[in-house]
Amino acid sequence: MKSFELYDATSVQEAVALLSKFGPTSKVVAGGSDLVTGIMKDWVRGKGMPYPEKLIDITTIPEMVGIKVANNALTVGAATTLSSIVDSADIKKTWPILSQSAESVASPLIRNFATLGGNINQRPRCWFFRGENFACYKKGGDFCFAVTGDNRYHAIIGGELCYIVHPSDTATALLALNAKATIAGPSGQREVPFDTYFTGPREDVLRENLLKHDELLVNVTVPQPAANTRMAFFKLKDRQVYDFALCSVAAVFTEENGVWKDGRVVLGGVSPVPYRAKVVEEALAGKNIKQAAKDAAGRIRTVARPMSLNGYKVDIAVGLIERVLTSALV
Amino acid sequence: MSQNETTNGAEVSRRDFLKQGVAGVVALGSIGLGASNVLNRAAAPELQLSQGVVSPDPALCIGCLTCEVICSQVHKDHGLSDVPRIRIFNDGRVELNAELVKVYGDRGHFHQSPCLMCPEAECLRVCPANALVVEPKTGARIIDEKACIACGRCSQACPFPVQVESKATNQTVFGQHSRITYDPKKNVYTKCDLCNWRPEGPACVERCPVNVRIRQGIIKSDHLCLELPKASREHWDQQSVADRKQNA
């Protein structure tokens, strides 16, 4: 790995100023489990992805670390560790799927330094993207090797040009919880709903969210769930020990006497962005959830477009959606 | 005047003026400039044929959407509308190439809808603003975005409709009806221009992954998924018949 300069930012403004000053070869770092021990260690770079030379540490910014519950909302600083989220009694009680999704990430050792912001903004796990010898679109190259290569872990929904899947478990839960992201940049801070935070390859294949190189995620705000809200999360991995999601499902919905009123069903590990399964939600509207779950889950087939080796993921998604919907009712 | 020059205030006025003028003429009847262009077509000089026309083979398409997205990307990078000029549609009637199925399994059934670079080019004849021109180097029928007044006549005149967009593989709605599409962001119509500024030629043909694998000999095929033959009347006759059949 190449050496780098490390800057300890003491405020969000200072971090933004450093990013603006140093340009695209500077990156924000918190736990560094993906950036330093993944991207940089493995020399993941290309024409559209310069190797980081300057890292701006944001764990030294007090306002970016911590969990607060106020005004009927939860706010988690982007530099808060996943372990802190798992250990939070407030989160476990009111937003249990955020706690579960954080706990499903990696190992306890990694969760002790990996952060929420890092988990949301981590780069994809596509083995061609991570491989040094593949000049893929996501690195500024001119080919998607997954289209005609081994694509068993790639996108089954929404892939185009590039077929990565979004790797974040917490992002899946946060989108289902209707969370908002606070983004800081040279022109100040702005709030963006998670519905529009993630961007697909058509918008810009070089990134997975709307953060520009001189912007950073400051915190995430999650509203208090309405009365009669049910929620559940499940992540399926290819192996028993820690791994990324083959498919994960988060469901958050309100119901009355078992009938779906309103809610969200979100899938991770199947699409270039955390995927909100509106076809499933529409199929559940006004219906008895237990009775409609199987048919509604099957609706995901209408939007799925599997590749040559990953058709099995469609069956998994259908099964998991049904499982999560029914388990939320228990 | 290059296509990607920034529009200045004076030109906007000219566009608005022309657009309002055309709207008025259309409202009064069919005696507009475009209509007179059509009436005079017999007397119009024969157009230079295009040096290339994107000719797809749906049997080789795996619906990866690389052509669609890369089309948007290269045009956007060149300062032009990012509405894709080629669209992919789900089409269960397409019989897949056996070699493709052997190598990549059943990825689904799709057809492509590119511009056919018509020898007669109705779109070009009806434009009241002379925004549709033949690009001299490639012979491509192109829209000069700077001159386009977004009246929509070219799109209406295009004889090749596309499938309903609910069948579009990427599930994105562009409000497309023919091979010429309105871009509300830039308030212009847009169509295939054969990426005439690129030395590599059309990006869709260059980047199609099936094309790449055929060229590498990994997929055995005597032709590409997206070919780029020189336009001819005979080829246009054949392609238009096939195109109309798949969009019926």
CATH number of the domain encompassing residue A287: 3.30.390.50
The answer to whether residue B218 sits within a structural domain is: yes
Reported as type and span, the H/E element at residue A247 is: strand A247-256
Name residue A265's beta-bridge partners: A251
**Which stretches of chain A score pLDDT less than 70?**
none
Contact of A67 with A84, CB cutoff 8 Å: yes
Judge whether A283 lies within some domain.
yes
Domain membership flag for residue B2: no
How near does any CA of chain B get to the CA of A329, in Å? 32
Question: Which pLDDT band, with edges at 50, 70 and 90, does B32 fall under?
Answer: very low
* CB within 8 Å: B209 and A160: no
Instruction: Residue window 243-302, chain A: list those with CB within 8 Å of chain B.
Output: none
Res B39 pLDDT > 50: no
**pLDDT at res. B108:** 86
Sign of CA dihedral A205, A208, A212, A214: negative
Find where tokens 């004076």 sit: B10
d(CA A303, CA A226): 29
Query: Would you say A233 and A248 are in contact if contact means Cβ atoms under 8 Å apart?
Result: yes
pLDDT tens per residue, range B106-135: 788 999 999 999 999 999 999 999 999 999
Q: How far is CA A89 from CA A95, A102, A175, B230, B241, in A?
A: 10, 14, 21, 69, 68
Contact A160 B170 (CB under 8 A): yes
Question: Does residue A259 sit in helix, strand or coil?
Answer: strand
- Establish if A309 touches chain B: CB-CB under 8 angstroms: yes
Least Cα distance to A280 among A252, A312, A313 occurs for A252
Check A159 against B65: CB less than 8 A apart: yes
- By CB neighbour count within 10 A (0-12 exposed, 13-18 middle, 19+ buried), where does A276 fall? buried
**Chain A nearest C-alpha distance from B122 (Å):** 31
Residues of B within 8 A of A203 (CB-CB) are: none
Residue B20 in contact with residue B28, Cβ under 8 Å?
no
* Alpha carbon separation from A126 to A120, A146, A207, A264, B222 (Å, rounded): 16, 8, 14, 27, 32
> Among all residues of chain A, which has the CA nearest to that of B101?
A308
What pLDDT is stored for residue A83 in this prediction?
98
Interval B157-186: pLDDT, tens? 999 999 999 999 988 889 999 999 999 999
Q: Mutate which of A142, A204, A305 to test chain B, going by most B C-beta atoms within 10 A?
A: A305
**What phi, psi does A49 have (nearest 5°)?**
-145, 80
Nearest to A26 by CA among A17, A152, A34: A17
CB contacts < 8 A (A, B): 53
In a domain, A12, yes or no: no
From chain A, pick out residues whose CB is under 8 angstroms from the CB of B169.
305
- From chain A, the residues in CB contact with B103 under 8 A are 148
Q: What's the gap in Å between the CA of B137 and the closest CA on chain A?
A: 26
A245, part of any domain: yes
> Over the stretch A279-329, which tens digit does the pLDDT of each residue have?
999 999 999 999 999 999 999 999 999 999 999 999 999 999 999 999 999
For B64, which of A147, A202, A309 is closest by C-beta distance? A147
Q: With the C-alpha atoms ordered B92, B93, B94, B96, is the resulting torsion angle positive or negative?
A: positive
Q: Which member of B62, B108, B212 has the closest CB to residue A143?
A: B212
| Beta-carbon separation of B66 and A202 below 8 A | no
| Cross-chain Cβ contact B108/A305 below 8 Å | yes
Q: Total domain count for chain A?
A: 1
Residue A300 lies in a domain: yes
Which of B68, B108, B209 lies nearest to residue A160, judging by beta carbons? Answer: B68
Range of the domain at B137: 9-246
* DSSP 8-state code for residue A139: G
- Residue with token string 């959606």: A321
Nearest-CA neighbor of A220 among A127, A98, A106? A98
> Given the DSSP bridges, would you call strands A54-57 and A5-8 parallel, antiparallel or unpaired?
parallel
Where is average pLDDT lowest: B2-11, B67-76, B163-172?
A: B2-11
- Site from B60, B64, B70, B86 to mutate, A interface, most A CB atoms within 10 angstroms: B64
User: Is A237 a domain residue?
Assistant: yes
Task: Fill in the DSSP letter of residue B50.
Answer: P
- Residue A8 belongs to a domain: no
Compute the nearest-CA separation of A283 from chain B (Å): 18
* In a domain? residue B62: yes
The domain in which residue A277 lies consists of: 229-329
pLDDT confidence of B36, banded at 50, 70, 90?
very low
Is residue A157 a contact partner of residue A271, using CB atoms and an 8 Å limit?
yes
Please tell me the predicted confidence (pLDDT) of residue A287.
Answer: 98
- Among chain B residues, CA nearest to A157: B170
| pLDDT the model gives residue B16 | 55
Q: What is the CA radius of gyration of chain B?
A: 18
Q: Establish if B4 belongs to a structural domain.
A: no
Residue A74 within a domain? no
Residue B137 within a domain: yes
Domain total in chain B: 1
Q: Which residues of B touch A138 (CB under 8 A)?
A: none
Is residue A303 less than 8 Å (CB to CB) from chain B? yes
Beta bridge mates, A182:
A191, A219
At residue B19, the pLDDT reads 55
Over residues B199-221, the mean pLDDT reads 96
Assess A142–B contact: CB distance below 8 Å, yes or no: yes
Q: In this complex, do A308 and B218 lie within 8 Å of one another by their Cβ atoms?
A: no
Cβ of B107 within 8 Å of Cβ of A307? The answer is yes
Does some domain include residue A181? no
Neighbour order of strands in the sheet with A5-8: A5-8, A54-57, A26-29
A312 phi and psi angles, rounded to 5 deg: -60, -25
Q: Does A159 touch chain B (CB under 8 A)?
A: yes
